Amino acid sequence: MTDRLKRLKFRAWHRGTREADYMIGGFFDRHAATWSEEQIGWFEMVVEEDDVDIMAWALGTGDPPAHLDRPDLIAAMRRLDYIPLP
């Protein structure tokens, strides 16, 4: 894993709340290995946003701003199939 991805993984898993960690970190773990440079850049911008906003996009209760609106990645985030259920 490159240093860039290691830093991004840390940012994804250290959000401040357990719920955000699982949602954002789990999304990273599930999909990052297959991302292109462009998709990694998109996620780097996403993790700069507030957790409440990112979670709203993932839950479908909000829409991302135009510069982050990637229907393919937002759809993958909304599937929530990357969060382990007890």
pLDDT digits (tens, 9 = 90+) for 27-48: 999 999 999 999 999 999 999 9
In a domain, 86, yes or no: no
In a domain, 53, yes or no: yes
Domain range for 71: 3-79
pLDDT for the residue 49: 97
pLDDT for the residue 5: 97
Show Cβ contacts of residue 80 under 8 Å, excluding neighbours closer than 6 positions: 23, 58, 59
For the chain (86 residues), the mean pLDDT of every run of 10, in chain order, is 94 94 95 96 97 96 96 95 79
The neighbour count for residue 54, using CB atoms within 10 Å, is: 23
In a domain, 18, yes or no: yes
Show Cβ contacts of residue 64 under 8 Å, excluding neighbours closer than 6 positions: 46, 53, 57, 70, 74
pLDDT for the residue 86: 63
pLDDT for the residue 83: 84
pTM > 0.85: yes
CATH of residue 31's domain is 1.10.150.250
In a domain, 64, yes or no: yes
Q: How many domains does the chain have?
A: 1
